[in-house]
Amino acid sequence: MSIVMTGGGTGGHLAIIKAVKEHLKGEELIYIGSTKGQDQAWFAQDSDFAKTYFLESKGVVNQGLIGKIGSLWKIFTSALKVRRILKAHDARVVFSVGGFSAAPAALAAKLSSIPLVIHEQNAALGSLNKLLKPYADIFISSYLDESPVKAYPVKQEFFENARIRKEVKTVIFLGGSQGARAINDLALSLAPALKERGIRIIHQAGERHIDAVRTAYEKLGIEAEVFGFTTKLADYMKEADFAVARSGASTLWELSATALPTLFIPYPYAASDHQYHNAKFLVEQKLAWLMRENEIDKEKVLALLDEDLEAKSRGLMENVEKEGSQKIAEIITQR
């Protein structure tokens, strides 16, 4: 019998699959995703999966009536294909992380009376997960009191890199692999003041913006480590004492696991404003800071560097639960 994992489209979803499957060794794993988004780049060549399937599906949100009808029809026809896949692999459970990639397999699981376990990454539920929550056998969210697992599935290396920060020697700016113009602009505006303080800069500018950002630093006469996509994010976070970042769920919890005090600047156009609500969850516990893009104030950001970082850092280390991936894997294998 197999365990089917599904969902994605974005790195935030796919990071959950990657973290949880590390604790499913010895199981026959099947991945079902989409030809759209990042699914194939992440898992097409992943040897942990006995078989991978990528179907033609796309999101329903932010489309006109005709587009919605077309997307729903594609999801339904794909779900019928997935029913055959589930039967062929004798699937005993489907684990979904949401996103449009998950719709066909999640629907097929319910049509086939196969247990459906859902993980929601964000404080504001995604459209598909909100729709399927009443039908899930298990619904997991770090933001819900009733969730059987509160710990977010973060790779162990982030916890291993955790340390208490007391002063700022290095700042990391994280705009994601695609970059964030607002964070790039803020980093460059802060760079001269950071240089004066002897503070080193690490900057994830995004693949499309690397050259422009590097050139800007050179014109300022400032050395900075600039990159786009990286497999060394845990190491970069370990080096930093303060972060400025978007608040996608995976980034937020990785920073938290590393006990890294962070100013979150949420992406203003995220579905259901979920990045704002993710960050607000930590801010309400006095574990982070939050600014909207239209509220960015360079002087206020600089002032944060002189605040009590140790309290934030220690609070994160004491409050962020470990072993989320392992606990979720245990729930899946018990189905």
Q: Are residues 222 and 107 in the same domain?
A: no
Tell whether 114 and 191 lie within a shared domain. no
59/94 same-domain check: yes
**108 and 47, same structural domain?**
yes
> Do the beta carbons of residue 293 and residue 181 sit within 8 Å?
no
Does one domain contain both 13 and 119? yes
204 within 8 A of 230, measured Cβ to Cβ: yes
Q: How many domains does the chain have?
A: 2
Q: Are residues 107 and 227 in the same domain?
A: no
CA-to-CA dists, residue 192 to 79, 219, 220, 325, angstroms:
55, 11, 7, 41
**Cα-based distances in Å from 91 to 115, 117, 314:** 9, 13, 43
Structure tokens at 251: 């980034």
User: Where in the sequence is the domain holding 258, given as residue range(s)?
Assistant: 157-319
Residue 22 and residue 88 share a domain = yes
**The pLDDT of residue 3:** 98
CB atoms within 10 A of CB 204: 31
Same domain, 43 and 111: yes
Provide the token pair at 88: 């062929």
Ordered strands of the 91-96 beta sheet: 51-55, 28-34, 2-6, 91-96, 116-120, 138-141
- pLDDT the model gives residue 142: 93
Same-domain pairing of 177 and 268: yes
Query: What is the Cα gyration radius of the chain?
Result: 21
Residue 16's CB: how many other CB atoms inside 10 A?
29
> Which residues partner with 5 through β-bridges?
31, 95
Q: Residue 285 burial by CB count (10 A; 0-12/13-18/19+): exposed, middle or buried? A: exposed
Mean pLDDT, contiguous 10-residue spans, the chain (335 residues): 91 88 95 90 94 79 54 74 96 93 91 96 87 93 93 91 97 91 97 98 95 97 94 95 96 96 96 93 96 96 96 94 93 92
pLDDT score at 280: 97
Q: What is the pLDDT of residue 63?
A: 55
Q: Do residues 65 and 135 share a domain?
A: yes
Contact present, 238 and 161 (Cβ < 8 Å): yes
Residue type, 290: L
Residues 315 and 168 in one domain: yes
What is the reported pLDDT for 271?
83
pTM for this model (two decimals): 0.84
Indicate if 122 and 194 belong to the same structural domain: no
The CATH number of residue 250's host domain is 3.40.50.2000
Phi, psi of 152 (to 5 degrees): -80, 140
Continuous H helices in the chain:
11-21, 39-43, 65-88, 103-111, 127-132, 156-160, 181-196, 210-220, 233-239, 249-257, 274-283, 298-304, 309-319, 324-333
